[in-house]
Amino acid sequence: MKKNVFFLREWKIPGLQKVLRIMKLTTFFILLSVITAFAGKSYSQTKSLNIKMNSSTVKEVLKNIENQSEFVFMYSEILIDVNREVSIEIRNKKIGQVLNVLFEGTNVIYKVKDRFVLLTTTEFDGNELFGQQQKSVSGIVNDKDGQPLPGVTVVVKGTTQGTVTNATGKYTLNGIPDNSTLVFSFVGMQALEVEVGGQPVINVSMNEETIGLEEVVAIGYGIQKKESLTGAISGIQADEIEAVKASTVSATLSGQIPGVSFRQSDGRPGSTASVQIRNFGDPLVIIDGVEKDLGTFNNISPNDIESMSVLKDASAAIYGLRAAGGVIIVTTKRGAKNTANKINVTLFQGFQDWMRKPQSVNAYEWMRGKVRAEMNAVNPSTSITQEELSKWEQGTEYGYQSFDWVDFIIEPWAPQTSANINMSGGSDKINYYTSISHFRETSVFGRENKFYRTNIQQNIDVQITDRLSLGTTINGRIEVTDHVGVPWGDDYIMPQRALYRSRPTERPYANDNPDYINNIGHNENNWALFTKDISGYSTDKWRVFQSNFDLKYDLPIDGLKLKATYSYYMADELFNEHEYTYETFTYDPQSEEYNMTFSMTNPWRRREHQKVLENVAQFNLNYNKQFGDHNIQATFVNEYTARHIVYTRYNSTPGTNALLLMYDEDLKWFYDEDYEEARIGYVGRFNYSFGRRFYFEAVGRYDGSWKFAPDKRWGFFPSVSAGWRITEENFMEDIADGIGLDLKIRGSYGVVGDDAVGIGAYDYLTGYNYAQSTVIIDDVAVSGSRDKGVPVTNISWFENRIFDIGIDYSLFNNKVSGAIDYFNRKRTGLLGEKYDILVPSELGYSLPDENVNSDAVLGMDGSVVYNGKAGDLSFSLGLNATLARSRNLETYKPRFGSSWDYYRNSTENRWDGITWGYEVEGQFQSMDEIRNYDVDIDGVGNTTLLPGDLIYKDVNNDGVINSYDVRPIGYQGGAQPILSLGFINNFKYKNFDLQLNLATGSGYSFVISNWNRVPYYSTGTLLERFYNDSWYREDPYDVNSEWHSGTYPALRYNATSHSNYNKTSTFWLVNVWYLRARTIELGYSLPESILEKIRFDKLRVFVNAYNLFSIDNMSKYDLDPEVSSIDNQSYPQHRTIKIGVDLTF
């Protein structure tokens, strides 16, 4: 034990020793249960049943038993008369006693194996039931464990010819054509179709058709069958999550769930993506029943996740004040009872690269383009002679050789490695799941920029007594982001700029000697500096420990269960950064000496330390009772959360690069923070269902937040929902049976709170702040204090009123299935200033904001899945779509000085996120056209314009292009897509499988800027498209030579203020759309005949491609369509190729 937790003991975090004691006690109980596990009773020996049914069929009685227990019945309706009417009344009897009464006087016998009950008859010979022929096909039908299945119906597809298996699972059919198909069916088992193909012997194995995770979903504080859901809830399972092979959990959601939009705007190692539900904002994340932040969510090992559910509508109200953006519920894997020990290993090695890189010109083209740009100035002149240009073209002389900075900076196919090993199993008393994962990836910006993460997960469930059980969930994580400590800026933005600011006429090393960094135009962006030996280091290390303890007790009242949960979370972050001093040199070829030209003498040292401690307690009382066709379920939850955060930050200017410690005399800045927060909530939920026809749910949550004044602190958030399975009605029976239709209509309405209102603790109190500066009084530095301002007493919750109406459907006996939803969320209580209430200016501050504004998000989402089979090929084709857009509704007493001011700046009752700019009508074709043009484009009478320059539309016809000519030209830049689609396709042919996941997005804009917009921006590189496709003169040195047309305006040198470049316009804006191959995976599984020889249960090898290609309208700019559009310098996503193996034994 000491060895396992040694890394935790080093943290010296308060409360850790207490947790370790709890772990020791837990381990004691677990070991005690292991000792007694094999002597324990099975489920069938402990579960008591109560039945009271009159004039009901045997089938209805069996269904009643399944509803009130975990038993699953398997039988053939050919052998068992399940339509026989019976009346039965039994109290507190075991399953065997119930079946003895139910089948008394019949030839039905049964076999109980834990929760599975097999019904058959005492005598049948397996002869054909429907006809005799001459030729025969025979075989044995087993379950997945190899046990024979008697009573399985075997029918020739499309005929009435068939038989059933005998007591040993054997069957024989005569007169079977070679091209026929056999259908194996058995109630409680998945139907199976096998082509005969001339085979005389066909042995098959059938799987149970039980209610597993694929047929239930996690909801707030529990689980529920999909068929009884009344809310808009979607989910994905472990196989769908693991198939993506992504570095973060958020990436596994891309394109997989309707209503969920995904955007990876930053692809650097360890970065996370933006995931939103219906564009409502950041969602709340619940992991194994406990709220967690998005950082924790993204750094779970995907291999440890069993399922994820997404609450998209008022069903999120059960989580109260933090659930305004919807809820993602994560359930980690657990072992199953009475299962053999199983070990699974998944390994893959990947290599990643950018899909697109800047395409820059060589040195000769850079110099020739500069001649063009300088001769295109208002006063044309250039210092570059034709003789010098010729030397650059030849590229043989010293000092006239081109350098490829893109090739120097980017190291393609950076490695990515993932390994996971997990073990699971269980007896009747205990089940376990244990996992360890390691993930590592590096950047294409050199192998010194890397991220790695190690996860440990252990889930154990112990049945202590017949009524009492204990569940433990323990996990830990060590996560390290390790970069070069880049002086002057961000560890990734500066290298990104190096791609654009480095000129091909310059070289990284003086005289190509790696011992001397060359002095270039932008020293801070010289990639030769960006190593840990020269620039320094930046390391961010997280150590996280989480433990959940669930104690469950079945109360003596039938259907009533109590659950108590305690969760302890602690995280420790240590950030260390040291940016070194450095020198750059020039080389003198005559003296052969290296001369120090520049010295960076401003070192920087930063250290941050953060500790987070969180305690969560939950008490859950649940009642679930079946009364004939009526089912009632009620849940009450009390939840308390307390968090304590301690944060310190130091900055210093050390005297040497080797200094690891911080001294007082070097300290330049110190910040210390210590705060606590707490929340408490009370939850009630009531569910009622009538058969499979009507469903109703009502939820109420009463929440308190630490942010608000005492009289604003509490809020009540209710929701109601209902569902009607219309195909259960008599008037729909013929239609439903004819096309295999299952149709449910559902609707919900609720209020969800949100306390993310931008205020801090105790802002509702008066007080004083210490001054940030001092004054000198009588030669003494004196610091005072000032009034902190008006107390914030009127602010309370944002309220989100969510309406949803939807349809769940399936056709052709579930071959086609899906859902369609319309939703509308109105959010009230947004902050705004009551500016018309004036206060004296002498006070020095204004009134605080209040809850006065509102907005809305409305849209639709839906999905459709088709499952098919053609011979040995089985496949699933899925499409999901989300359309969601935000609209501003009300602002407090909007005021504008003119009609134009109102048009340009009002947001009331308008779509949110609009890009304003100028409309470009065309480009000038000649100097004569420019001279005769009657609209002033550049503000100086068009004297700076040349052929190819942009013509802006004079919207108000005043003869001048100015701010009054701007109009809406695009969507919001850098936002979530308004429209998102996902295509999820799976194929399986014999032992091969293929997954193809495509994702699309549109409805957001990208404003082209910086180097992608202005040639020679910041005197840096020149992109090939500007050199090859701009307007230019035949002879760059002759201003009177003939012009040649191109796509882009004539070149200028770093002319950021020119009218071509200083305006956001339709010419430099892209309304983005893309179709991206998010995941393509091809796998091959070894056949069972080989697995038996090597004693493996499974061995699958695979090749996976992530972001293999993208079809979009950003390719001409060599930009990723999902990056941020702020400055065109975001690190794009990687394209990753992985090879791996997945084996189980």
496 — pLDDT class (breaks 50, 70, 90): confident
> Rounded to the nearest 5°, which phi and psi values hold at 1078?
-70, -45
838 — pLDDT class (breaks 50, 70, 90): confident
Q: Averaged over 861-866, what is the pLDDT?
A: 96
Q: Averaged over 426-438, what is the pLDDT?
A: 93
Question: What is the chain's length?
Answer: 1145
936 contacts 942 by C-beta, under 8 angstroms: yes
In this predicted structure, the answer to whether residue 665 has a pLDDT above a threshold of 70 is no
Please report where in the chains the tokens 């603790």 appear, as a residue: 761
Tokens describing residue 634:
């009620």
Cα(35)–Cα(37) distance, integer angstroms: 6
Helix 386-394 / helix 363-375 crossing angle, nearest 10 deg = 160
The predicted pLDDT at position 1127 comes to 62
Cα(807)–Cα(164) distance, integer angstroms: 39
Tell me the β-bridge partners of 141: 204
Cα(396)–Cα(384) distance, integer angstroms: 18
Tokens describing residue 666:
């070097």
The predicted pLDDT at position 131 comes to 40
Higher pLDDT, 974 or 212: 974
pLDDT tens column, 770-826: 666 666 777 777 777 777 777 888 888 899 999 999 999 999 988 999 999 999 999
Q: Domains of the chain: which residue ranges?
A: 43-121, 136-206, 216-335
843 — pLDDT class (breaks 50, 70, 90): low
User: CB burial class (10 A; 0-12, 13-18, 19+) of residue 1076?
Assistant: buried
Is the sign of the CA dihedral 328, 243, 261, 494 positive or negative? positive
Please report where in the chains the tokens 């075989």 appear, as a residue: 139
Cα(538)–Cα(8) distance, integer angstroms: 23
Please name which of 328, 333, 318, 313 lies closest in space to residue 220, comparing C-alpha atoms.
318
127 — pLDDT class (breaks 50, 70, 90): very low
Beta strands (DSSP E) in 264-355 are 274-277, 284-287, 290-292, 305-311, 327-332, 339-354
The predicted pLDDT at position 1078 comes to 92
The DSSP symbol for 360 reads B
Cα(174)–Cα(218) distance, integer angstroms: 48
The predicted pLDDT at position 774 comes to 66
Please name which of 707, 688, 704 lies closest in space to residue 696, comparing C-alpha atoms.
688
The CATH code that applies to domain 216-335 is 2.170.130.10
The predicted pLDDT at position 33 comes to 40
844 — pLDDT class (breaks 50, 70, 90): low
Count CB-CB contacts under 10 A for residue 767. 11
Count CB-CB contacts under 10 A for residue 497. 21
The predicted pLDDT at position 604 comes to 83
Q: Averaged over 642-666, what is the pLDDT?
A: 79
Cα(362)–Cα(366) distance, integer angstroms: 6
Cα(828)–Cα(588) distance, integer angstroms: 70
3-state secondary structure of 18: helix
502 contacts 525 by C-beta, under 8 angstroms: yes
Three-state DSSP string of 703-737 = EEECCCCHHHCEEEEEEEEEEEEHHHCHHHHHHHH
3-state secondary structure of 88: strand
Higher pLDDT, 174 or 982: 982
The DSSP symbol for 1065 reads B
The CATH code that applies to domain 136-206 is 2.60.40.1120
Higher pLDDT, 651 or 12: 651
Cα(619)–Cα(1068) distance, integer angstroms: 57
Mean pLDDT, the chain, integer: 87
What burial letters (b/e) apply to 298-328, b meaning 16+ CB within 10 Å? bbbbbbbbbbbbbbbbbbbbbbbbbbbbbbb
In this predicted structure, the answer to whether residue 132 has a pLDDT above a threshold of 60 is no
Tell me the β-bridge partners of 675: 645
In this predicted structure, the answer to whether residue 412 has a pLDDT above a threshold of 80 is yes
The predicted pLDDT at position 963 comes to 94
Q: For residue 1003, give the H/E element and its range.
A: strand 992-1007
∠ CA 525-527-533, rounded to 5°: 115
Tokens describing residue 1041:
């030579």
pLDDT tens column, 580-602: 888 999 999 999 999 999 988 87
Count CB-CB contacts under 10 A for residue 889. 16
Please report where in the chains the tokens 């939103």 appear, as a residue: 276
Query: Which class is 43-121 in CATH?
Result: alpha beta
Start-to-end CA distance of the chain, whole Å, equals 27
pLDDT tens column, 616-628: 999 999 999 989 8
The predicted pLDDT at position 659 comes to 64
Beta strands (DSSP E) in 497-603 are 536-554, 560-579, 582-588, 593-600
Residue 422 has, within 13 A of its CA and on its CB side, a CA count of: 26
Most confident of 15-29, 145-159, 382-396: 382-396
Q: Report how far Cα 1004 is from the mean position of its chain's Cα atoms.
A: 19
Q: Which region among 455-459, 480-484, 666-670 has the lowest average model confidence (pLDDT)?
A: 666-670
Residue 386 has, within 13 A of its CA and on its CB side, a CA count of: 4
Cα(1068)–Cα(1009) distance, integer angstroms: 8
Rounded to two decimals, what is the model's pTM?
0.80
Most confident of 27-36, 171-180, 566-575: 566-575
Q: Are strands 136-143 and 170-174 parallel, antiparallel or unpaired?
A: antiparallel
805 contacts 822 by C-beta, under 8 angstroms: yes
Q: Report how far Cα 494 is from the mean position of its chain's Cα atoms.
A: 28
What burial letters (b/e) apply to 653-675, b meaning 16+ CB within 10 Å? ebeebeeeebeeebeeeeeeeee
The predicted pLDDT at position 773 comes to 64
Tell me the C-alpha to C-alpha distance, in Å, between residue 910 and each of 324, 763, 849, 1064.
Answer: 22, 32, 22, 21
The predicted pLDDT at position 217 comes to 82
1105 contacts 1140 by C-beta, under 8 angstroms: no
Please name which of 711, 713, 690, 686 lies closest in space to residue 699, comparing C-alpha atoms.
686
Higher pLDDT, 614 or 196: 614
191 contacts 185 by C-beta, under 8 angstroms: yes
Torsion of CA 1039, 1042, 1047, 1051, to 10 degrees: -10
Cα(811)–Cα(969) distance, integer angstroms: 43
The predicted pLDDT at position 31 comes to 41
3-state secondary structure of 64: helix
Cα(550)–Cα(413) distance, integer angstroms: 45
159 contacts 166 by C-beta, under 8 angstroms: no
Cα(212)–Cα(237) distance, integer angstroms: 11
Tokens describing residue 1118:
């060599």
Please name which of 790, 800, 799, 801 lies closest in space to residue 759, comparing C-alpha atoms.
790
